[in-house]
């Protein structure tokens, strides 16, 4: 009974394949994701900078926009770099604990975005 729930049953790592059958096109598939990631990070960080440094934007609606931008940047940063490593460097393994951490942050930040959108709707 004690040995039925041992930690040896958990996998050490997972193998992520990217897009099976299109291994030769992984570079071309990853370029739009890379450009969208860079645009999202630069745009959201610029919005956070603007809201934090402009005195006229220190109101609750703009704070909610800054919080939404922050959650969007962190959500993009938890998933896209790992995906780009798969496409560019053929690093297909992800540790079990890394997978759990990535799943936690994806679900937590998605819930945070939903909560911020709800607060923005209540504020208006």
Tens digit of each residue's pLDDT (9 = 90 or more) over 8-46: 677 788 888 777 888 788 889 899 999 999 999 999 999
Residues sharing a CB contact under 8 Å with residue 69, sequence separation 6 or more, in sequence order: 44, 45, 47, 48
**DSSP 8-state class, residue 16:** -
Judging by beta carbons within 10 Å of its beta carbon (0-12, 13-18, 19+), is residue 68 exposed, middle or buried? buried
With beta carbons less than 8 A apart as the criterion, state whether 116 and 67 touch: yes
Looking at the domain assignment, is residue 15 inside a domain? Answer: no
Looking at the domain assignment, is residue 10 inside a domain? Answer: no
Looking at the domain assignment, is residue 13 inside a domain? Answer: no
List of E strands, 1-124: 13-15, 93-95
Q: Which domain holds residue 88?
A: 26-123
Nearest to 62 by CA among 104, 120, 4: 120
Looking at the domain assignment, is residue 42 inside a domain? Answer: yes
pTM of the predicted model as reported, rounded to 2 decimal places: 0.82
Looking at the domain assignment, is residue 67 inside a domain? Answer: yes
Looking at the domain assignment, is residue 34 inside a domain? Answer: yes
Total domain count, the chain: 1
Looking at the domain assignment, is residue 58 inside a domain? Answer: yes
Looking at the domain assignment, is residue 7 inside a domain? Answer: no
d(C-alpha 28, C-alpha 15), whole Å: 21
pLDDT tens, residue by residue, 68-118: 999 999 999 999 999 898 889 888 888 999 999 999 999 999 999 999 999
């Amino acid at each position: 009974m004690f040995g039925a729930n041992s930690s040896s049953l958990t996998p050490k790592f997972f193998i992520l394949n990217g897009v099976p059958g299109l291994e030769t096109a992984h570079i071309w598939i990853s370029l739009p994701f890379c450009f969208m990631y860079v645009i999202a990070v630069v745009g959201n960080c610029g919005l956070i900078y603007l809201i934090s440094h402009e005195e006229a934007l220190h109101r609750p609606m703009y704070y909610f926009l800054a919080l939404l931008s922050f959650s969007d940047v962190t959500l993009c940063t938890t998933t896209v770099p790992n995906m780009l490593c798969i496409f560019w460097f053929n690093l297909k393994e992800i540790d079990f604990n890394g997978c759990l951490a990535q799943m936690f942050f994806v679900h937590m930040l998605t819930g945070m975005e939903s909560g911020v959108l709800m607060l923005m709707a209540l504020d208006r």
